Chains A and B, each alone.
Chain A
């Protein structure tokens, strides 16, 4: 679809999914947002993820999507792929769905770059051991969906400034973790255009599914519905829809990459309870900033399993 407004990059695949029946062709949408926005995962509570006031001040719209995953920062330095297939034509096992939709993505990276590109943990696309995409999936109506993106460049500072965080120490810890674990095509010196990547991606999808992709636009019905869908995804009622849900009241750790989380939690050290921000990698504390600024204790905790020190 080329470059389209940010809200449309979400509205279009939701619409195609919503209107899908067994007779509708499976669809892969490739697009680039012309403007910046942030997007909540379906079940996330807005105030646990993004700072509404900062988003408003920076004029960055917030949308919620109906597919899973975490809060994402999306801008024109990213190329999106959104696979919308009828549910009867994809595996029932979600790991296998991801494998089918993401193997062509990995193969696209391998085609152009001399890097270790792979699908790990069933739904993470990594390059040289770092995350190069945000992935999410879901079922809407009769459609099964997998969405993701190629990061050509990434504005770490702006994304970090939009997070809702318990304190600024948490933000800095999370921002550093993000810089350590996310890689962009710019980082590997790529000069590849989005068009070239998009064309190769189409070729890889065709090869993998052994089906010719037919270029096509939206139907009039889809265009009309997409406008309504876009308004819904940005509406206060949908953005706030998870506010009062049971079980969502506790802030979840911020996921940075596979097995990398930032926690804000209370720990118990010899009977003393201390709050702090913890960067936890593969279950172990990588780095830590305690609210009481006890640097001696912070050093002692590095390397321990997070579960063992949690209250």
Chain B
């Protein structure tokens, strides 16, 4: 049986398995989704951009390390960092434990929300996209 992963319907997702949620004040919160975290394992280290830093969609904004495997964290949206989550920097495991709540990464003031959010997955498209992503995660690059 295929593994199931929780997706919050109130946010947008990308193929790096980051989520973006628009807040009431126009800022967006960014975090990692359950499928991405399941493939990475327990988070050991995180680095995040400083408040006031500009970030550009698709460009590295930080880094992470889980199960001795490092990787970049690519900004899912362009804008200015207005807040970073110090709690996950102190305890990176929080990202695994509460990915959609206390385990968020940064808050960004977006500069091109309408155009960029249209490239993310959201709403009715989510279930089908998630099924396809689970399939990709299970089959990609399997050898031996």
A contacts, CB < 8 Å to B: 41-43, 66-69, 85, 88-100, 103, 122-123, 135-139, 208-210, 242, 245-248
Q: Which residues of B contact A208 (CB under 8 A)?
A: 143-144
The answer to whether A138 and B137 have CB atoms under 8 Å apart is no
Say whether B142 contacts A96, CB under 8 Å: yes
B68 within 8 A of A: yes
Of A68, A96, A138, most B-chain CB atoms within 10 Å: A68
- The interface stretch among B5-13, B26-34, B41-49, B121-129 is B41-49
Q: Chain B contacts of A93 at CB under 8 A? A: 38-39, 137
Q: What's the nearest-Cβ distance from chain A to residue B33, in Å?
A: 13
Across the interface, A68 reaches (CB within 8 A) one of B70, B89, B136, B142, namely B70
On whether the beta carbons of A95 and B68 are closer than 8 Å, the reply is no
B144→A245 contact, CB < 8 A: no
**Top 9 closest pairs, chain A to chain B, by CB:** A247-B89, A138-B70, A43-B45, A137-B69, A68-B68, A90-B141, A93-B39, A246-B89, A69-B68
* Complex Cα–Cα for A52 and B40 (A): 32
23 of the cross-chain contacts (CB-CB < 8 Å) are: A42-B65, A43-B63, A69-B68, A88-B141, A91-B140, A92-B141, A94-B39, A94-B40, A94-B41, A94-B69, A95-B67, A98-B67, A99-B144, A100-B141, A123-B67, A135-B68, A137-B70, A138-B69, A139-B69, A242-B47, A246-B86, A247-B91, A247-B92
Determine if B140 and A67 form an interchain contact, defined as CB atoms under 8 angstroms apart. no
List the B side residues contacting A139 at CB < 8 Å: 69-72
Interface of A is mostly: loop
Residues of chain A with a CB closer than 8 A to B65's CB: 41-43, 68, 138
Whole-angstrom distance between the Cβ of B44 and the nearest chain A Cβ: 8
A97 to B137 alpha-carbon distance, docked (Å) = 12
B120 within 8 A of A: no
Interface size on B, residues (CB 8 A): 32
A89 to B137, CA, bound (A): 12
| Contacts beyond the supplied A89-B141, A245-B47: 19 A-B pairs with Cβ under 8 Å | A67-B69, A67-B70, A68-B68, A68-B70, A69-B68, A88-B140, A88-B141, A91-B142, A92-B141, A94-B41, A94-B67, A123-B67, A136-B69, A137-B67, A138-B69, A139-B70, A210-B143, A247-B88, A248-B45
- In whole Å, how far is A206's beta carbon from the nearest beta carbon of chain B? 12
- Which chain A residues lie closer than 8 Å to B71 at the CB level? 138-139
Interface residues of B (CB under 8 A from A): 38-41, 44-48, 63, 65-72, 84, 86, 88-92, 136-137, 140-144
Q: Which residue, A66, A100, A122, A138, has most C-beta atoms of chain B within 10 A?
A: A138
Smallest Cβ distance from B38 to chain A, in angstroms?
8
Alpha-carbon distance A209/B144, docked complex (angstroms): 6
Write the chain B residue with the least CB distance to A242.
B47
Considering the chains assembled together, what is the distance between the CA atoms of A209 and B141 in angstroms?
A: 10
Nearest A-chain residue to B47, judged by Cβ = A245
What is the CA–CA distance of A136 and B70 in the complex, to the nearest angstrom? Answer: 9
Please give, as numbers and ranges, the residues of chain B lying within 8 Å of A69 by CB-CB distance.
68
B90 touches A247 (CB 8 A): yes
CB distance from B2 to the nearest CB of A (A): 14
